[in-house]
Amino acid sequence: MKIRALPRRAAEGPSILGRSAVAAPLSFVALVCLILLVLAGWHEWMTRSDVLRDAAKDAANLARSLTQHADDTFEMSDAALIGIVERLETRGQAPEELDRLSRFMALRVTTLPRIRGLFVYDKTGAWIASSLPSLPVGFNNSDRAYFQRHLRSPERSSFLGTPVLSRSSGEWIVTLSRRYDAPDGSFAGVVLATLDASYFFEHYAHFNVGPHGAIALMHRDGTVMARYPDGPTTVGRNLSRGPLFQQGLPNAPSGNLRYVSPVDGRDRISGYRSSSRLPVVLLVALDVEDALAPWRSDALWRFGAVLVLVGLIASVGWWSIRQAELRQCAEVARLETETNFRLLAEHSGDMVSRIGPDGRRRYVSPASLKIIGRRPEDLLGRNVFEDVHPDDQAELERTVEALKRGQVGEVIVTYRHRHQDGRDIWLESSVHVSLDPHSGEPDGVVATSRDVSDRKALEDALRSMAATDGLTGLANRRRFDEALAAGRSYAIGRGSPLALLMIDVDNFKGFNDHYGHQAGDDCLKKVASAIASKVQVSGAVIARYGGEEMAVVLPHTELRTACEVAEEVREGVEALRLEHARNTAGSWVTVSIGVACRSFAVSERDDDVEADLVMVADKALYAAKNNGRNQIMPPVTGAWEVRDRLGPRTFGACRARVVN
């Protein structure tokens, strides 16, 4: 550096100007450092909010799934009660009948491990039959709430009670009961199914809700039926004065709620859901401290790195001011920033990649070995898309091109990537454009990637549980409604037809009465499998509509083709040759099928089309059953054939060919 001396008088003026010239850049550097700290703090706060939001979403999803599990458990138990009530009211209470009934109930308990026991009480509350090896002596249950409820009320529906201590075992149980009547319609007694509260506790233990999280199944009156991880210690406790029942449920039957737990005083963020079918509420509560622990650890590292970066910028700025080399100062800051970027990338658990305009990697952090099984040096110079799954490659390429053109600034993409060991893993990458420091033009993109395969697997499992019927493996009623709505949208968008088959197993109640409910369940499974094997229409959805009734949604299918598919299904079920002694349509298990079909014009609006399709198919199904069963029936006269592309003559020919 070269310094030129000046006369004294002349030097005094510039010294003041020099101090001013130093003060202004120094203030600017201080302002930049402050902005960086504020931005870093804001970013960490927003990240914290995202963590809590994701925790609330996970809790709500798990609550939805566990509510379905509770509904299925109680409905399965109720199905057993219905069968026992039917036997009592049709076969009476003779000693030999009660003895056979006890053996039947013992067999049902062995086939339904969720049920602890089945019991029958007469109108005085005395035990007259049970699934236990022998009847207890000296016990009377007339004082139980469920017995008093059925004694006073003529309602025939099931009653889910609050937990009680079992008189036979001394353990907490959940009761589900039904009333049965004498031939004259008067009260004859109560049929009871009991479930161990510990069954729900053991089931909830399979879900990871953190070291301080909790899962609670509660009666709608606020009584705890089961709570993990407390086991039986909180069963029977009433929490109706707690925040869930005072703040959450009065506003919405499901949602999220943050509160301080009345059980252990911990701050929790929860997802809750009230069953639409039973008086139960499911609560999944995640501890806020548990949810924030990973973020807090990472935030300390990130904020520490920001502090280091701010210190470096301040030091470089001061040095630059002292040297009066603003351009050199900017270059030093850029180099320091690049160094810190590499420092952060080298120590990050995420894989950081810098990709040039040609799509080839220019930099890869060491985390690539942990995430995709490849060393950074093996990836340098290789095209970033070569290991992306073919189904995801085109969309990922379009996203990167949009970034390069400046259409978006930053995106988060999730896609499948080939691991070194040959399997496909799911990666989530945050991708943003990198700019040339001299020209300011885009010179590629930077991607920060992490492995989210476990999260994707959990999401897929939850979606499958929410859309599948537990007995037959077919789609459940919710999935059927979604498929019918999607089929309607597809048909309107393309001006194509939509067909629906409603299928009912003939005389199925007689089958259950004759062979038993276990055989009935096996029958439904085989019928469902036969239907699935015969429906080969692309995009078709086969669902259990309810009980022994099943439905098939056939997109882009004309009435004639729908009738042909229905006939193949009917023949396929009959070909099973499942013995059915009480079938009025033959000696085997058979089905009756109602067909509905509707053609659409492009952009046609008809908001009630799903309900109309079900109604028309139901009418055709009832016509098939009234006509002798074991047959298919297209839409009955006056329904929709005038809207269909088939004319009246073709429609009549179709009916004559497929109806026996």
The percent helix, strand, coil of the chain (3-state, each to 5) is: 45, 25, 30
Supply the pLDDT for residue 498.
94
For the chain, give every domain's residue range: 74-199, 349-454, 468-658
Strands of the sheet with 361-364, listed across from one edge:
361-364, 351-355, 442-451, 424-435, 410-418
Determine the Cα–Cα distance for residues 541 and 525; give it in Å rounded to an integer: 16
Determine the Cα–Cα distance for residues 317 and 336; give it in Å rounded to an integer: 11
Determine the Cα–Cα distance for residues 470 and 72; give it in Å rounded to an integer: 8
Q: Select from 3.40.640.10, 3.30.450.20, 3.20.20.70, 1.10.3760.10 the CATH code of 74-199.
A: 3.30.450.20
Chain centroid offset of residue 647 CA = 44
Determine the Cα–Cα distance for residues 44 and 294; give it in Å rounded to an integer: 12
Supply the pLDDT for residue 14.
44
Tell me if domain 349-454 and domain 468-658 are identical in fold.
no
Supply the pLDDT for residue 462.
63
Determine the Cα–Cα distance for residues 94 and 102; give it in Å rounded to an integer: 12
Predicted TM-score (pTM) of the model is 0.44
Q: Which residues are catalytic?
A: 548
Supply the pLDDT for residue 657.
34
Determine the Cα–Cα distance for residues 37 and 338; give it in Å rounded to an integer: 19
Determine the Cα–Cα distance for residues 77 and 84; give it in Å rounded to an integer: 11
Determine the Cα–Cα distance for residues 281 and 204; give it in Å rounded to an integer: 14
Supply the pLDDT for residue 481.
92
283 close to 269: Cβ distance less than 8 angstroms = no
Supply the pLDDT for residue 527.
96
Structure tokens at 538: 């692309």
CA nearest to 150, candidates 124, 179, 191: 179
CA nearest to 311, candidates 603, 592, 86, 30: 30
Omega into 390 within 30° of 0, i.e. cis? Answer: no
Q: Select from 3.30.450.20, 3.40.50.2000, 3.30.2310.20, 3.40.50.300 the CATH code of 349-454.
A: 3.30.450.20
Determine the Cα–Cα distance for residues 406 and 435; give it in Å rounded to an integer: 11
Q: How many residues does the chain have?
A: 660
Determine the Cα–Cα distance for residues 240 and 219; give it in Å rounded to an integer: 10
Architecture of the domain delimited by 468-658: 2-Layer Sandwich (3.30)
Supply the pLDDT for residue 440.
66
CA nearest to 347, candidates 365, 361, 364: 365
Q: Which residues of the chain have pLDDT under 70?
A: 1-23, 324-348, 409, 436-440, 460-466, 602-607, 637-660
Determine the Cα–Cα distance for residues 350 and 371; give it in Å rounded to an integer: 8
Helix (H, G, I), strand (E, B) or coil at 51: helix
Structure tokens at 581: 């002694």
Structure tokens at 32: 């930049």
Determine the Cα–Cα distance for residues 62 and 269; give it in Å rounded to an integer: 13
